[in-house]
C-alpha cells in the first residue's frame, strides 16, 4: 500500500470562545470531534481572533478561551491524537489572511450573508474585520491543506469563498492549496431554540429558557425542557415542518438515547407532552453529567490545559509556517 493511501485526510474545525457552549454547539459540532479522530488527522481550533469582530471583554475572552479548550478535551478530544490550539497562538493564520485579503474580491466579501446579519445586529460596530473575516477563515482552513471542514448551513458560503480563493491563488501562482470540501455530519447538525423552534439555538438569545448551556445543572436543564415550546396537538410525532418544537425535542432525545424516531413516537404514544419533555430533560442531564464532571476536573488543572495548548500551537505552527514560507515565496515577498 502506498504512503498516500495510508495517509489520513486532514480535517479542521473551530469554535469561538464567546462563553459556555450550548447544547446546539455540542450536538452540531463538538460531540462529533472525538469520533472524527478515528478516521482523520484532526486540527481543532479555539477561534479567538474571529471573536474580536464583536467587542469582547478582554479578561472574559481569555477565560473563555481556556474554558473552551477544557470543554473540548472533556468531550473526548485526545491531544495525543489531535492538534488542539488557540488561533492567536499561531501567527501564520493572520499572515496568510493578508495575502488572502489581497486575493479576495470586494464583491465576494460584500455578498457574505453573515456580514449583513452581524452588521444589522451590531450597527454601532460594523468594522473592517467583520467584512474581511471570511478571508481569515479561508486562511484557517487552507494553511493546513485541510481537505475536509465540518460545516453547518450557515458556513457553506464561507467554505465556497475559501475554495474560490484557493483556486484563484493556484491559477495565478501555481498549484499550492488543496481544495477543501464540506463535511456534513449525519445527525443533529442543527438544534433549534427551545423557545422558538424556527430559530437556531443560540446563547445570545435574550430568553435564557431558549438554550441549554453545557454547564447548566440538572435542575436547570430539566426546567428548561419542561418550558420548551411545542404545539397544541399533544402527539409526539416527527414532522419538522408541521411540528418543529416536538421534532426538535425528538432529535435531541434521539442523540442522547440512540432510539429511532419511530421508537420515540411509540414510547410516548398517548402520554402527552409532559412526560415526553421530562424524559428529554432527564436524558440530556444524564448524558451531560460525565462531561461536566470531566470539564470541572480539567479546568481546575490550569497547567495541564495550558501545556496542551502550548504543544498544540507548536504542532500547528510547524505545519502552518511551512505553508507561509511557500506562499510568501510564490507571491514575491523577499525572504532572508
Per-position DSSP letters for 264-323, written without gaps between them: HHHHTTTTHHHHHHHHHHHHHHHHHHHHHHHHHHHHH-HHHHHHHHHHHHHHHHHHHHHH
| Marked catalytic residue, from 190, 203, 259, 330 | 203
pLDDT band at 4 (very low <50, low <70, confident <90, very high): very low
Q: Which residues pair with 279 in a beta bridge?
A: none
Query: What are the Cα distances from residue 233, in Å, to 103, 190, 251?
Result: 54, 24, 18
| Marked catalytic residue, from 8, 35, 116, 118 | 118
What's the pTM?
0.91
Length, in residues, of the chain: 336
Q: Is 200 a catalytic residue?
A: yes
Find the mean pLDDT for residues 244-256. 95
Q: Where are the CATH 1.10.240.10 domain residues in the chain?
A: 208-296
Query: What are the Cα distances from residue 132, in Å, to 35, 100, 112, 139, 183?
Result: 32, 9, 10, 11, 24
CA distance 336 to 77: 39
Q: Is 243 a catalytic residue?
A: no
pLDDT in tens, 263-282: 999 999 989 899 999 999 99
How much is the mean pLDDT over the chain? 92
Instruction: Check: CB of residue 288 under 8 Å from CB of residue 27.
Output: no
CATH (one of 3.90.1150.10, 3.40.50.620, 3.20.20.20, 3.40.50.10260) for 3-189+302-331: 3.40.50.620
Q: Is 35 a catalytic residue?
A: no
pLDDT above 90 for 295: yes
Question: How far is CA 179 from its chain centroid?
Answer: 20
pLDDT above 70 for 13: yes
> 208-296 in CATH: which number?
1.10.240.10
pLDDT of residue 114: 78
Kindly give the residue spans of alpha helices, DSSP state H, lying in 75-226: 92-101, 106-110, 113-121, 128-142, 156-173, 218-226
Q: Where are the CATH 3.40.50.620 domain residues in the chain?
A: 3-189+302-331
pLDDT in tens, 79-138: 999 999 999 999 999 999 999 999 999 989 988 887 777 777 778 888 888 889 999 999
| Marked catalytic residue, from 121, 186, 200, 326 | 200
pLDDT in tens, 157-198: 889 999 999 999 999 999 999 999 998 776 555 899 999 999
Amino acid at each position: 500500500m502506498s504512503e498516500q493511501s495510508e495517509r489520513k485526510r486532514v480535517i479542521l474545525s473551530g469554535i469561538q470562545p464567546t462563553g459556555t457552549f450550548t447544547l446546539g454547539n455540542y450536538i452540531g459540532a463538538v460531540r462529533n470531534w472525538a469520533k472524527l479522530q478515528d478516521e482523520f488527522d484532526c486540527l481543532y481550533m479555539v477561534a479567538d481572533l474571529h471573536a474580536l469582530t464583536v467587542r469582547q471583554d478582554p479578561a472574559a475572552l481569555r477565560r473563555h478561551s481556556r474554558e473552551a479548550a477544557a470543554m473540548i478535551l472533556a468531550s473526548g478530544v485526545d491531544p495525543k491524537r489531535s492538534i488542539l490550539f488557540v488561533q492567536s497562538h499561531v501567527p501564520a493564520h493572520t499572515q496568510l489572511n493578508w495575502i488572502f485579503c489581497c486575493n479576495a474580491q470586494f464583491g465576494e466579501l460584500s455578498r457574505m450573508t453573515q456580514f449583513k446579519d452581524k452588521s444589522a445586529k451590531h450597527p454601532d460596530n460594523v468594522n473592517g474585520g467583520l467584512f474581511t473575516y471570511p478571508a481569515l477563515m479561508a486562511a484557517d482552513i487552507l494553511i493546513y491543506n485541510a481537505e475536509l471542514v465540518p460545516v453547518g448551513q450557515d458556513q457553506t458560503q464561507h467554505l465556497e469563498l475559501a475554495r474560490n480563493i484557493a483556486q484563484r491563488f493556484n491559477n495565478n501562482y501555481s498549484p499550492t492549496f488543496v481544495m477543501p470540501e464540506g463535511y456534513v455530519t449525519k445527525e443533529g447538525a442543527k438544534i433549534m431554540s427551545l423557545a422558538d423552534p424556527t430559530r437556531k439555538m443560540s446563547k445570545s438569545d435574550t430568553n435564557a429558557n431558549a438554550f441549554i448551556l453545557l454547564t447548566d445543572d440538572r435542575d436547570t436543564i430539566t426546567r428548561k425542557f419542561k418550558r420548551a415550546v411545542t404545539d397544541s396537538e399533544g402527539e409526539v410525532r416527527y414532522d419538522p415542518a408541521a411540528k418543529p418544537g416536538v421534532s426538535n425535542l425528538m432529535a435531541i432525545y434521539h442523540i442522547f438515547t440512540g432510539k429511532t424516531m419511530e421508537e420515540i413516537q411509540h414510547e410516548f404514544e398517548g402520554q402527552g407532552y409532559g412526560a415526553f419533555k421530562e424524559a428529554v430533560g432527564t436524558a440530556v442531564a444524564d448524558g451531560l453529567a460525565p462531561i461536566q464532571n470531566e470539564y470541572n476536573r480539567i479546568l481546575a488543572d490550569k497547567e495541564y490545559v495550558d501545556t496542551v495548548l502550548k504543544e498544540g500551537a507548536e504542532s500547528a505552527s510547524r505545519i502552518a509556517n511551512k505553508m507561509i514560507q511557500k506562499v510568501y515565496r510564490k507571491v514575491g515577498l523577499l525572504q532572508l
